[in-house]
Amino acid sequence: MIQMQDIQESMILNYISSDEDDDMESPLINQSPVEIKQKQKKYDQDQSITQIPSELSFNRNMDRRINETIVLQNHADEITLKSTKNAKEAYQREIIKELVSKQKKRFKVDGFNLDLTYITDNVIAMGFPAESFEAIYRNPMPEVQKFLNSRHPNNYMVINLCSERKYKHESFYKVAEFPFDDHQAPPFNMMVEFCQKVHEWLTANSNHVVAIHCKAGKGRTGVMVCCYLLFSGKYTSSQDALAYYGLVRTQNKKGVTIPSQIRYVHYFSYALKNELVKMPFRQIELVSVRLVGVSHGTMIRVQNNDRQLIEKAQIVSDKEILFAFNDIFLQGDVLIQIFHKSIVSESKILQAWFNTNFVSLSPREQVFKAEELDMSKKSMKHSTQIQMELLFDQVIHTRQRSNCLSKGK
Q: Which residues are catalytic?
A: 214
Measured CA to CA, the distance from residue 188 to residue 265 in angstroms comes to 9
Measured CA to CA, the distance from residue 279 to residue 361 in angstroms comes to 17
Strand partners, 8: none
List C-alpha distances in Å: 330 to 191, 210, 310, 366.
Answer: 20, 35, 12, 14
φ/ψ of residue 30, rounded to 5 = -90, 0
Dihedral of the alpha carbons of 323, 324, 330, 335, in degrees to the nearest 10: 0
Task: Tell me whether the omega of the peptide bond preceding residue 142 falls within 30 degrees of 0, making it cis.
Answer: no
Beta strands 123-126 and 209-213, pairing class: parallel
Largest separation between any pair of C-alpha atoms in the chain = 156
For residues 219 and 213, is the Cβ–Cβ distance under 8 A? no
